[in-house]
Amino acid sequence: MNFIPSNLAGCFVLEPKIFHDDRGYFMESFNENTFEKGIGQKVHFIQDNQSYSSKGVLRGLHYQTGEYAQAKLVRVLQGEVLDIAVDIRPESATYGQSFSILLSAENQKQLYIPRGFAHGFLVTSETATFFYKCDNFYNKESEGGVIYNDPALNIDWNFPENELIISNKDVILPTLENAKKVW
């Protein structure tokens, strides 16, 4: 597994070693020892989540605050998404900056998003199955979010805005400036 630092401190792209033969392929998608060595810290994942969405569905930008903050390891099992991480740690040198990557079943890349980041994704294929590991349990009272089109973030979703499918909850999220603070 290759661990490639993104432009955001603590956020890594993971590229697995895939072994192909005439039967198909094999890869190790997660190994705690390899993972912790690759990112340089201990992370204990305790919850797995999975979603299925159609083209144009935008989920995010979400995060958890305080003692329920979550680090995530995300990947796509079927289809393709544009995945976005936003550093919302006020003390960070990369506060308010984002990182985007195409994650797909074909490229098998994963993205590690540490605590203190907002996260979202847009389905770019006809459908996508999205899978992620969390290092903390979900807590409704601790959820927060940032509107996907916050002008201060200037995220290029590379998709026609009038074709986006966004939940009622996500379309009314605040800007980063007005969002619930992470810590």
**Is there a catalytic annotation at residue 52?**
no
Q: Torsion angle, CA of 15/21/25/31, rounded to 10 degrees?
A: -60
Asked whether the beta carbons of 22 and 15 are under 8 A apart, the reply is no
List 63, 112, 132, 148, catalytic entry:
132
**H, E, C per residue of 107-129:** CCCEEEECCCEEEEEEECCCEEE
**Is there a catalytic annotation at residue 20?**
no
74 CB-near residues (< 8 Å, 6+ apart):
83, 103, 110, 111, 113, 119, 121, 130, 131, 132, 133
List 62, 63, 112, 148, catalytic entry:
62
- Per DSSP, 170 falls in state H
- Give the residue numbers annotated as catalytic, written as ranges: 62, 132
